[in-house]
């Protein structure tokens, strides 16, 4: 692609080498794995890999009828940042396959059958099979119901739901900020169901007007703004047949977020909640009928507590989870009597997530950082002996999935030179599920260059550069920073996605030095590294981005009068902040979907770091950009979707007015039909073209 990257290439989805398997589900015997894969284009189909034959074969394709996502499906895709078409979800259970498709349900028995439409399955939200595959459970008109997949016979599990009151659905904060996309959980013996009741009538409606639609229509959201009311959520338990009263669980005083619910093999419930200020986390134990048995574990922090990922409930009443209570995230094993121990990591690296747990061998399989979080590897640890073993020692980035017992694994490996390759690992057996012939050299792309940046406190930061070839112009290369900068994100990784960052590659080909720096506050390097953001956003991150610019200027010839910056979401916020607070450094910026005042963002994210305006007014004033508009000196292009349901267009609208009041000139692009994740070929292409042309013209 040398000297030939087009705007269409940058806007296209998927990126070169990006067609890889996703959403793995292992067979009960651990010998096969199902997965979604786009054989052509961006449409996912269902495949199965058999480890005994070493072959993959097609199981099911998306129905061919013309259909569009329902509004609920569109919102779920936005929450998950899911851009693929075709089959978006599937489930195997009890020998039955379930595929939701544009508001309808399709089912199949066995791998050799054919998909059939489930009677009375239309409009069922978040549908899931029971473990025995005999029922489909989901939410219809605000109530939990179960549907016979053969006959369509429907039975209610709850009956009080309706507008503003729903059963079995995750509320906005859970989906967007807590990684909880579901609102009900079925016991392993299919006898009981735990489910949420979500009450939202008290939250004012936030309207999003579709101005470009004909006719114009208004989308309504119950959005929980900072310091305002959250949805009222409680967890109930009742028999799956719907008989008997609902037993509501009591998890203590004060407002708390429901984060996770686990059914143990022994039929107990383990419930994870976290305080609204995110400074207290607790696991509580209940019996199958919802009676509280006691607290299994708790921890507190003076800053905030990051929620764990996958946790595993053991048959003996124990729990395997992760914690940052002692610094970098580690495996935490909690016994049924409440005693716990933290498993020491083999090096100064962090556990990312638990992949599987084998109670018989006392072994936990985890994803682990490597090389100061630049890489990922797969490892196992025995929680009795503490013995660690790395299973994927090759350099680069390993994404992984495992069957529940850790008998078999799927790994997806890539680095700067090689696109992701998907392999099967089990008992010494290794086989390629999907190869990927695409390489950096075959695409003729530049190799990203890793470098280190020293922050003002001595912390070493990870940086990445795309360095132009040839002789620099007089005065040095213009420099552009690609930024995110906020919490719970990481920009710099030793992975294929960096190579196919075609926007950065395009600028590199046109003589711009492009850099990325993971400033203090970014994810996967432990709570001490992150906590510089506590009570303040933007200050330390900008300081570190400037340190990155200075380090780049020491390493390569850079024209200090031609420096720019761009980013989206928190990166859009950082772009605006850089232009306003460091105009002597940054002359040009493209800011996409920025938060301009965090008082207008949601509770579960913002209060975790900043508290509320009531208890941290100075912090919110310092973080806000609206009171800094008069500082603008450079060239700014502001881009925002008018139907963005996450960072509402009001953020940019208020910023526009602040610039007008301050008499400051800027450029604006409004995307009338775009949400936070911009989709659609024309929208994506227009955004890419205008962004790059802005730098070519002004920098």
Residues designated as active site: 569, 644, 676
Q: Strand (E) positions, 330-404?
A: 330-334, 340-343, 351-358, 363-370, 375-382, 388-390, 397-402
Burial class of 412 by CB neighbour count within 10 A (0 to 12, 13 to 18, 19+): buried
Cα separation, 151 vs 118, whole angstroms: 8
Distances (CA, A) of 93 to 186, 409, 545: 13, 20, 49
Contact (Cβ atoms closer than 8 angstroms) between residue 177 and residue 606 = no
CA distance 340 to 360: 18
**Which residues, other chains included, contact 337 with Cβ-Cβ below 8 Å and sequence gap of 6+?**
none
Alpha carbon 591 to its chain's center: 21
**What is the Rg, in whole angstroms, of the alpha carbon atoms belonging to the chain?**
25
CA–CA separation, 10 and 505 (whole Å): 9
The CA-CA-CA angle for residues 660, 666, 668, to 5°, reads 100
Note the Cα 264 to chain centre separation in Å: 26
Q: List C-alpha distances in Å: 136 to 62, 531, 537.
A: 19, 44, 45
How far is residue 459's CA from residue 215's CA, in Å, rounded to a whole number? 55
Which residue bears the tokens 């009538």? 201
Distance in angstroms (rounded) separating the CA atoms of residues 540 and 619: 13
Query: Quick check: helix, strand or coil at residue 551?
Result: helix
CB within 8 Å of 274: residues ≥ 6 apart: 256, 257, 259, 280, 281, 282, 305, 307
């Amino acid at each position: 692609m040398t000297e030939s990257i087009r705007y269409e290439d940058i806007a296209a989805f998927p990126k070169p080498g990006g067609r890889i398997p996703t959403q793995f589900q292992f067979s009960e015997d651990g010998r096969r794995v199902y997965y979604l894969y786009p054989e052509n284009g961006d449409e996912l189909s269902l495949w199965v890999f058999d480890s005994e034959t070493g072959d993959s074969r097609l199981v099911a394709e998306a129905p061919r009828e013309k259909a569009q996502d329902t509004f609920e499906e569109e919102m779920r895709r936005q929450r998950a940042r899911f851009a693929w078409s075709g089959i978006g979800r599937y489930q195997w259970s009890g020998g039955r396959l379930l595929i939701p498709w544009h508001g309808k349900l399709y089912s199949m028995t066995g791998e050799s059958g054919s998909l059939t439409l489930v009677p009375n399955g239309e409009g069922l939200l978040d549908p899931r099979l029971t473990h025995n595959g005999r029922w489909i459970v989901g939410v219809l008109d605000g109530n939990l119901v179960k549907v016979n997949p053969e006959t369509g016979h429907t039975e209610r599990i709850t009956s009080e739901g309706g507008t503003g009151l729903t059963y079995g659905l995750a509320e906005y904060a859970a989906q967007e900020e807590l990684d909880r996309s579901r609102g009900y959980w079925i016991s392993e013996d299919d006898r009981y169901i735990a489910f949420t009741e979500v009450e939202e009538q008290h939250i004012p409606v936030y309207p999003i007007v579709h101005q470009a639609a004909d006719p114009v229509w208004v989308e309504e959201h119950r959005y929980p703004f900072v310091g305002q009311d959250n949805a009222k959520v409680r967890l109930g338990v009742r028999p799956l047949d719907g008989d008997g009263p609902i037993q509501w669980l009591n998890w203590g005083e004060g407002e708390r977020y429901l984060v996770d619910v686990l059914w143990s093999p022994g039929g107990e419930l383990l419930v994870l909640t976290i305080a609204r200020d995110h400074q207290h986390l607790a696991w509580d134990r209940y019996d199958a009928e919802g009676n509280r048995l006691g607290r299994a574990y708790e921890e507190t922090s003076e800053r905030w507590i990051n929620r764990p990922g996958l946790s595993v409930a053991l048959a003996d009443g124990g729990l395997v989870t992760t914690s940052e209570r002692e610094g970098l995230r580690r495996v935490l094993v909690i016994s049924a009597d409440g005693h716990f121990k933290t498993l020491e990591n083999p090096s100064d690296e962090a556990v990312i997530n638990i992949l599987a747990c084998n109670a018989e061998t006392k072994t936990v399989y985890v994803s682990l950082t490597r090389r100061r979080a630049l890489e990922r590897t797969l490892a196992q640890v025995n929680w009795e002996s503490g013995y660690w073993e790395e299973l994927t020692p090759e350099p680069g980035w390993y994404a992984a999935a495992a069957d529940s017992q850790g008998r078999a694994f799927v790994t997806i490996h890539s680095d700067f030179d090689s696109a992701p390759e998907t392999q099967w690992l089990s008992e010494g057996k290794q086989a390629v599920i999907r190869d990927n012939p695409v390489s950096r050299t075959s695409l003729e792309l530049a190799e990203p260059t890793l470098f280190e940046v020293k922050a003002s406190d001595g912390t070493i930061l990870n940086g990445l550069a795309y360095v132009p070839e040839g002789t620099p112009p007089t005065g040095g290369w213009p420099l552009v920073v690609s930024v995110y900068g906020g919490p719970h994100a990481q920009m710099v990784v030793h992975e294929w996605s960096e190579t196919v960052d075609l926007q950065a590659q395009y600028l590199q080909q046109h003589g711009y030095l492009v850099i990325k720096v993971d400033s203090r506050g970014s994810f996967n390097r432990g709570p001490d590294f992150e906590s510089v953001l506590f009570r303040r956003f933007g200050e330390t991150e900008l300081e570190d981005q400037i340190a990155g610019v200075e380090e780049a200027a020491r390493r390569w010839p850079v024209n200090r009068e031609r420096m720019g910056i761009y980013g989206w979401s928190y990166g859009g916020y950082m772009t605006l902040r850089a232009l306003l607070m460091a105009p002597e450094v940054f002359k040009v910026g493209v800011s996409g979907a920025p938060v301009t005042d965090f008082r207008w963002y949601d509770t579960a994210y913002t209060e975790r770091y900043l508290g509320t305006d009531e208890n941290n007014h100075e912090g919110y004033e310092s973080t806000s950009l609206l009171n800094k508009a008069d500082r603008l000196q450079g060239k700014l292009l502001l881009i925002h979707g008018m139907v963005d349901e996450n960072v509402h267009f009001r953020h940019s609208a208020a910023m526009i007015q602040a610039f007008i009041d301050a008499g400051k000139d800027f450029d604006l692009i409004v995307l009338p039909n775009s949400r936070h994740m911009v989709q659609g070929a024309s929208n994506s292409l227009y955004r890419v073209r205008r962004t790059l042309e802005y730098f070519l013209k002004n920098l």
